[in-house]
Structure 1
Amino acid sequence: MTIGGQGPYGPPWPPPGNPYGPAGPYPPHGRPPPHGPRPPSAPFPPYGHAPNHPHPYAPYGPYPPPPRPSLWRRFREDEWPTLRELLGIVRRIPGCIWGLVLCCGWPFVVLLLTYPLARSARRASLLVFPVDRARRLLDPDLVLLQKIRAGLALAASFAILAVWGTSEDWEEAQDQFTLRLMTTPWLLLLTAPLVLAVLFRFAPPAARPGMWSRLRPARRAVLCYFGAFTAVPALLLGMFALYREFPDSVPVAVLVVALLAPVLWLVFFVVLSSPTAVRTAFNTTQVHAALPALLTGVLVWEFAALNLAIAELPPGPPLVGMSALLGGPASVTALVWWEIRRLRTRFGVSLRG
């Protein structure tokens, strides 16, 4: 018998009279839940935070947890491990190596004292110069060719010095390397505005407001880097002047010792942020994808002119010296031209777009 019409299934509501028994505390209609009662005061735990979660990969769902990056990768691309984590890794070193460390223990003690400052400076450098901004468009073939070219250039320079070089030539090569490290940020600061002006000149008017907006991180990065770069010698000169003026003053000596920590932090910041700052041209690579290639092509010729103005030709016959002087910039220029061509053909990025 049906209720509420001649249909074979009846209405969706229960029939009158509560045929399922007296009303109880369990909905619906007094029937208990299939898995037993649940206390009303116990909240539902979030997924993955239950004490005995049935899934083996909680809280990552049906997927395994991501692999932890290696220690070398953390030191190179990520935030450095804490001192406690580092000491936990050091405990697994064999005892024979610990004996060698204890024989010359003062570098280990200095490392323990300065590591927190270096880690803090590394964190600040990652905030100002993120590692992922080094290249906007990655081309594996181009990266491989650049590594091969750098290896061949280093091998050729070493071979020339080994065959025709003297002790003065080796010392001059070391001085040139140090000079290049010191002058690269300043040359980059002077060259980047010129290359950016050329790119803005070629860019269409509709794209220029977006390029201007992407220059804001670059301005902040330049202020932070060169502020730290110039603060280090200024603080050192001020400390030496104070100590020379008041050599017997205890407050001055305490002040000089207290200023050593900020100076060391600034030195760590400049050293750790310099590789990313040079690769990203102070975060100006976000303005245009072809900017790193153009800057590299201009900088190599500037370094060649600087080396020719300061030092003589590389050792060896004149033909070998001219080839060593011009071969590096010429090969880099060829790679720059190929990179710009691949940006246009593979990614649709042109100097006017």
Structure 2
Amino acid sequence: MGRGIRKVNPFRVAQKAFRPSRPDLIVDARVRKLQVLRAWAGIVVTVAVAAVYRVTAPKELASERFGDAWINVLILTCVLPLVVGGFVVAARPPNRGAFARRLRYPLIAVGAMFGSMFTFVLAAVPDLEGVRDAAGPVVMVPVGVVLFLWMLPFTLYGIVLSLTNVFRTADIHELVPPLVSVAASWVMAVVNVFDDSFKGVPNLLAFALILGAPVTVSALAYYEVRRLRLLHSITLRNTLLR
């Protein structure tokens, strides 16, 4: 009974869906800690800036930060196929085929994320209000409990894991996450230039915040790639068989 409950624990299921699990995956504990630190540091800084420079109610502030995190996920999913596709195409056989077969792992993570978000859309979209009313409290109350107690923690934890693990792209190859994260962070910086993410924040601070994320991610990616080269003799050239 206890083991069965652990198997359906939303945090445990999220880990299975969003964490890389390739048996021969090289895991660098130092890089891993830096990745987690970078993800949480970004969240803390953006929340602190929004709280100080914007007159925002706590509920609205939480909604805005969730929206920012979701935009990051959307941008990541847009950049991911471009970078991963280029990586696979650039590789020579037999590595090209091996990398292509591993694409199913990021697809599982992306599908799980958008599937979980879609359930909230179905629960809130106005066009389905009649269907929800017809179902009545006998159906909607249990559904609401499941959404709040299981799907919500699964989705929130999934967003953090998706941003930290770059949608399990390490299951394709260890070099893919740094490549995707660098591309996505710079795209996000360009998006922030043209939207109101830092409205009310002094220009100099806003500029530092916009560049802070991509510069930090790029530095971490360089450190990660360098350790792969020095400790494991993995380079982009020998990975692509070029």
RMSD: 4.0
Structure of higher RCO (CA pairs closer than 8 Å, 6+ residues apart): 2
Match of 2:171 in 1: 286
Match of 1:209 in 2: 97
Match of 1:124 in 2: 13
Deviations 1:69-122 (A, max 9, x none): xxxxxxxxxxxx959xxxxxxxxxxxxxxxxxxxxxxxxxxxxxxxx7995433
Match of 1:297 in 2: 182
Following TM superposition, by how much is the alpha carbon of 1:139 offset from its aligned partner in structure 2, in angstroms?
3.2
Match of 2:201 in 1: 315
Say if 2:70 and 2:159, in contact at 8 Å, map to a contact too. Answer: no
Deviations 1:272-301 (A, max 9, x none): 333323333332221110111112212222
**In structure 2, what is the Cα distance between the partners aligned to 1:296 and 1:274?**
14
1:39-58 to 2 correspondences below 5 Å:
none
Question: What TM-score results when the alignment is normalised by the length of structure 1?
Answer: 0.53
What is the identity, as a one-letter code, of the residue corresponding to 1:345? L
What is the identity, as a one-letter code, of the residue corresponding to 2:189? A
Following TM superposition, by how much is the alpha carbon of 1:309 offset from its aligned partner in structure 2, in angstroms?
1.6
Q: Which runs of 5+ in 2 are unaligned?
A: none
Following TM superposition, by how much is the alpha carbon of 1:151 offset from its aligned partner in structure 2, in angstroms?
8.3
Q: Which residue of the other structure, out of 66, 72, 87, is the alignment partner of 1:184?
A: 72
Following TM superposition, by how much is the alpha carbon of 1:319 offset from its aligned partner in structure 2, in angstroms?
4.1
What is the identity, as a one-letter code, of the residue corresponding to 1:273? G
Q: Which residue of the other structure, out of 103, 111, 115, is the alignment partner of 1:227?
A: 115
What is the identity, as a one-letter code, of the residue corresponding to 1:339? E
**In structure 1, what is the Cα distance between the partners aligned to 2:108 and 2:209?**
38
Percent of aligned pairs with the same amino acid: 22
What is the identity, as a one-letter code, of the residue corresponding to 1:196? V
Pair 309,169 (structure 1): closer, same or farther in 2 beyond 3 Å: farther
User: How many equivalent residue pairs?
Assistant: 232
**In structure 1, what is the Cα distance between the partners aligned to 2:116 and 2:56?**
34
Q: Secondary structure at the match of 1:168?
A: coil
Larger % of helix: which? 2
Pair 224,322 (structure 1): closer, same or farther in 2 beyond 3 Å: closer
Return 262-271 or 193-202, whichever deviates more. Answer: 262-271
Deviations 1:116-161 (A, max 9, x none): 799543343344334656x933334445666776788789779978
Say if 1:343 and 1:349, in contact at 8 Å, map to a contact too. Answer: yes
Match of 2:55 in 1: 168
Question: What TM-score results when the alignment is normalised by the length of structure 2?
Answer: 0.72
**In structure 2, what is the Cα distance between the partners aligned to 1:151 and 1:220?**
24
Say if 2:170 and 2:176, in contact at 8 Å, map to a contact too. Answer: yes
Match of 1:326 in 2: 211
Return 264-273 or 202-211, whichever deviates more. Answer: 264-273
Q: Secondary structure at the match of 1:294?
A: helix
Say if 1:344 and 1:350, in contact at 8 Å, map to a contact too. Answer: yes
Match of 1:241 in 2: 130
**In structure 2, what is the Cα distance between the partners aligned to 1:269 and 1:309?**
31
**In structure 2, what is the Cα distance between the partners aligned to 1:152 and 1:274?**
15
Say if 2:84 and 2:180, in contact at 8 Å, map to a contact too. Answer: no
Say if 1:314 and 1:321, in contact at 8 Å, map to a contact too. Answer: no
Say if 1:161 and 1:170, in contact at 8 Å, map to a contact too. Answer: no
Q: Secondary structure at the match of 1:205?
A: coil
Please identify the structure whose Cα radius of gyration is greater: 1
Q: Which runs of 5+ in 1 are unaligned?
A: 1-80, 84-115
Following TM superposition, by how much is the alpha carbon of 1:197 offset from its aligned partner in structure 2, in angstroms?
1.6
Is 2:234 the partner of 1:349? yes
